[in-house]
Structure 1
Amino acid sequence: MKTALVTGSWGFVGRHMTAELRGRGWDVIGCDIANPDRPVDCLDVFRRADRVFDLVVHAAARAPHRAAIDGRPATMAYNLQLDAAMFDWALRTGQRRVLYLSSSAVYPVQFQDGSEEWRLHETNTDSAHGIMPDAGYGWTKLTGEKTAAAAAAEGLAVHVVRPFSGYGEDQGDDWPFGAFVARAHRREDPFTVWGNGLQVRDWIHIDDVVAGALAVVDADVREPVNVCTGRGVSMKELAGMICQETGHQPWIAYDRTAPPGVAYRVGDPDRFHDLYQPKVSLEEGVTRAVRRARQQGAVASL
């Protein structure tokens, strides 16, 4: 039986990755300090464990959402420490393969100002384009990718994926999709959207994030790969889709004091789509999320 370690296994990506690997017959161990049943600090694992896994999925990160990215910059130091400790441990213990969850935040912000509909290609992080990723989190992930490359040069098999705006039915309300579903379910009026609502994102369902990332591993691709759809949908449009699905017709209020993020972030999907074709459309994802919120509401009212 193949074995895997998933760091950040209690987080959004980590728990879906854990479930998918187990569904494929893998023996999976998770570590996450946020696990209420068995909190395990991943840093302790990297200090003490010597077991060798067929695959290490490194999804652990502290508060990788917009409010924390702009409002809690000190998380950068912890995330840098976490990545460095993981790669040091992987090399020291001879781990067979590592899947590093990077981020679309690594891309230079000058390509994301909305002046043109630029599809971000994996090569756009090259120094020839100028390096100015999205805030401290972007710097953290870009540094993580450089560390991954250094570890690969020493013989570690490393795969790097750059998910764009992942979403799903069980996403928390620290992220826009989860927040919009929760606001629509609560019938909030006004319905608040951060910024001017025109910020465009490349939304990809968590099922496709996980399956797509594992397709990169299965194909043994060693260069960074966007995990994206290539389709851009604005925050305003997404809010409208969710409200329509719930039958809610609120007044949309734009909170321009809240951090909006970059204006336009859509990935070039060509490299990814050669390996994997996303299965869940945004429309289907919205329907699934609204259905789940209704079911949970019905259970809570019993």
Structure 2
Amino acid sequence: MSSQDGTASLSGKRILITGGAGFIGSNIAEELVADNDIRILDNFSSGSRSNVPDEATVIDGDIRTDDDLDRATEDVDVIFHQAALISVEKSMRAPELTHEINVTATVKLLERAREESARLVFASSAAVYGQPESVPISENASTHPTSPYGVSKLAAEEYIQLYVDQYNLDAVILRYFNVYGPGQIDSDYSAVIGIFVEQALNGEEITVEGDGSQTRDFVHVRDIVQANLLAASSDVTGVYNVGTGESVSILELAETVREVASSGSDIVHAAARDGDIDQSRADISKIQSALDFQPTVTLRNGLETIVPSADSKSE
């Protein structure tokens, strides 16, 4: 990944990335490892060791375990808290486990961040909004999460804000919209892209649930990394959406995937999924103003980063 705005002031730092072997965490590590002392805490329940840069120090541990957290946070300057149970479906089956990993462990980490006077950048989610009343969705929109995952992210946000207000913690919250990119296939962050790409490459029917008119704001992991670095190297606090500020319908996504993959797959429709959010698009004016964040990757160009041999294809 090429260097992004925000890296200049993140040099010579001791940086902890929880979940650093995962999709987003490993991309942050790759960006920063050349100029910083990178420490990764991961239990490898979903992340892969192959994602971790060789230069990073790996702590094979659990964010719920005090001893592992003590080792991971000792003398750190910056913490990127990416570790979480991210599957909405799994959270519906295991709400208590979701709370334990996403809320209780976050409070433990907040205590360490306070003790170390470390700046914390927290990975939250647009799932906190639930079914939006209107789009684009601003940070002050109503929050009515529809899954234990969404509730857990909102609860963690409230704890972080409490620590900022009451304990002077240096922290910022980033609400990711639908993240995708290399290594994302089979990830819960934006599973529909992974499914469509796999179907297109295998010549299978690309299956769209419902009529395909539902919209999403798909943001490439390169832009997510940019937002994290800008947040870490600033002194802002509060909550910021991270998306593109644009939306695409699921049907249009299927058509674009088919084109980028040079696939002859037919697009077919299946029954709509119960409780599926109809429209989603981030209002990113706040992060643009506060951090000078500008998304740089178009959907088509982003898809070309995950479709094999796409870099040899012309647009």
TM class by smaller structure: 0.7 to 0.9
User: Does 1:16 pair with 2:27?
Assistant: yes
CA contact (8 A) 2:244 2:284 kept: yes
Amino acid at match of 1:11: G
1:184·1:248 contact (CA, 8 Å) conserved in 2? yes
- Residue 199 of structure 1 contacts residue 260 of structure 1 at CA under 8 Å; is this kept in 2? no
SS at match of 1:102: strand
* Counterpart selection for 2:280 from 229, 247, 265: 265
Partner of 1:102: 124
Q: Report matched runs for 1:158-177 at 5 Å.
A: 158-174=171-187, 175-177=191-193
**Structure-2 residue corresponding to 1:54:** 77
The number of equivalent residue pairs is 281
Tell me which moved more, 208-217 or 142-151: 208-217
Q: 1:155 aligned to 2:168? A: yes
Of residues 225, 236, 243, the one that matches 1:228 is 243
Stretch moving more, 203-212 or 49-58 = 49-58
1:143 to 121, 133, 155: 155
Paired AA for residue 87 in structure 1: L
Can you give the 5+ residue segments of structure 2 that lack an aligned partner in the other structure?
1-11, 50-57
Separation (CA, whole Å) in 1 of partners of 2:89 and 2:263:
26
Instruction: List gaps (5 residues or longer) in structure 1.
Output: 126-130, 296-302
Computed over aligned residues only, the root mean square deviation of the Cα atoms, in angstroms, reads 2.3
Rounded to whole Å, the distance in 2 between the matches of 1:284 and 1:162 is 23
Rounded to whole Å, the distance in 2 between the matches of 1:7 and 1:194 is: 34
Secondary structure of 1:122 counterpart: coil
Under a length normalisation based on structure 2, what TM-score does the superposition of the two structures give?
A: 0.81
Residue 33 of structure 2 aligns to which amino acid in structure 1?
Answer: R
Aligned with 2:237: secondary structure?
coil
Counterpart secondary structure, 1:183: helix
The amino acid of 1:278's aligned partner reads P
1:134 equivalent to 2:150? Answer: no
Report sequence identity in percent. Answer: 27
1:241 and 2:259 aligned: no
Change (3 A) 1:257 1:58: same
- 1:66-215 alignment, distance < 5 Å: 66-70=88-92, 72-78=94-100, 79-91=102-114, 93-111=115-133, 118-125=135-142, 131-153=143-165, 154-174=167-187, 175-188=191-204, 190-215=205-230
Structure 1 residue 201 displacement after superposition:
0.6
CA contact (8 A) 2:41 2:72 kept: no
Greater share of residues in helix: 1
Q: Distance in 2 between matches of 1:202 and 1:56?
A: 26
1:185–1:293 Cα contact (<8 Å) kept = no
CA-CA distance at 1:285 after TM superposition: 0.6
Partner AA of 2:169 in structure 1: L
Pair 1:30-2:40 in alignment: yes
Secondary structure class of the residue paired with 2:152: helix
Partner of 1:298: none
Q: In structure 2, how many angstroms separate the alpha carbons of the residues matched to 1:50 and 1:29? A: 9
The alpha carbon displacement at 1:250 in A equals 2.3
